[in-house]
Amino acid sequence: MSENREHKRERKQRVKPVYAFPSYNLGIALQIAEKIERVGGGRLTDETLAVSLGVSAKSSGFRLRINNARQFGLLTKQGEYLATTDTAKSILKPTDENEKADALRQAFLSIPLFKVIANRFRGQPLPGGDSFRNVLEREFKIESARVRDAERVLLDSAREARLITESGGNTYLTTETWSTAQSSTQPSLLEGQKPALYHPSGVSEPVVETLRSTPLQSDLSTFSLEDLADLNDEEYKNFMDAWIVVLRKKAKRQHSRGGVTPPTEEVDE
């Protein structure tokens, strides 16, 4: 009898999902952190937070949302208080857009499943529909009954973190910082040229002086950045995303012919 129980226990352990994921997306976790910042200046008791949200502190939904916010690295427990972390403050009260973009990326990658997916599809389009759900189930051992939930929470969180890009009809999960992408795919800055800054929407863009005066050249194309100055946010975002993808693919082709080495950096552990 004891052997049968042990066998069942081992079997359950073998089918247990390898990667956990939150029930709520990053946007909902940020709502909790924002409430604590706004109402309590960064610290609130569970009871006070629950009252401010109009829910019971003993409800399972409230506890689950708190735990999810902690999974994203946005909250910590300090005695009887819930307190926002430095990551949450960097998102909610950033000193510049670089800080916010990096903190959003860090929060997203705090979830183990999201991190391995980001590495798995680095530089590649995400599969669509059933193909992506099959990857989640077969490669990452997500229970079949929860695969759609995992897909939804992951993609919603990636959009909240501004890590989803669309290019050529494909969807990419881009978790590199702009500095990483710049060093691996862009020409060096000209003498006296200012570095790139983050656009408020989370899209990287050169400063105005660079846009209006500096020609950008590569072996793929030659054009002036002034040509980009009149693009709206969405047009500029699509252009930069596509450009980075094209350069990476060309680097890989050149590498296969004995040319340059393509970027191989993975998301930081």
Answer yes or no: are the C-beta atoms of 20 and 153 closer than 8 Å.
no
3-state secondary structure of 167: strand
Task: Tell me what pLDDT residue 224 has.
Answer: 47
**Residues, the chain:** 269
Q: What are the structural domain ranges in the chain?
A: 12-164, 178-256
168 three-state secondary structure = coil
The continuous run of DSSP H or E covering 253 comes out as helix 233-256
Contact 22, 29 (CB under 8 A): yes
Q: How far apart are CA 171 and CA 168, in angstroms?
A: 8
* Pick from 227, 229, 247, 70: nearest CA to 176: 247
According to the model, what pLDDT value does residue 20 have? 82
Query: Do residues 49 and 36 make contact, with C-beta atoms less than 8 angstroms apart?
Result: yes
Report how many helices (DSSP H) and strands (DSSP E) the chain contains, helices first.
12, 9
Contact 245, 237 (CB under 8 A): no
Report d(CA 201, CA 188) in Å as an integer: 25
CA distance linking residue 18 with residue 20, whole number of Å: 7
| Chunked mean pLDDT (size 10), the chain, 269 residues | 57 58 94 96 95 93 94 94 96 94 96 94 91 94 94 96 91 70 38 38 37 39 50 66 68 60 46
Largest CA distance in the chain: 80
pLDDT of residue 167: 86
Closest to 84 measured CA to CA, from 96, 75, 72 = 75
Is 0.85 topped by the overall pTM? no
Report the pLDDT value the prediction gives residue 39, as an integer from 0 to 100: 95
CB-based contact 204:196 (threshold 8 Å) = yes
Dihedral, CA of residue 135, residue 106, residue 262 and residue 117, to nearest 10:
0
Buried b (16+ CB within 10 A) or exposed e, 53-74: beeeeeeeebeebbebbbbbbb
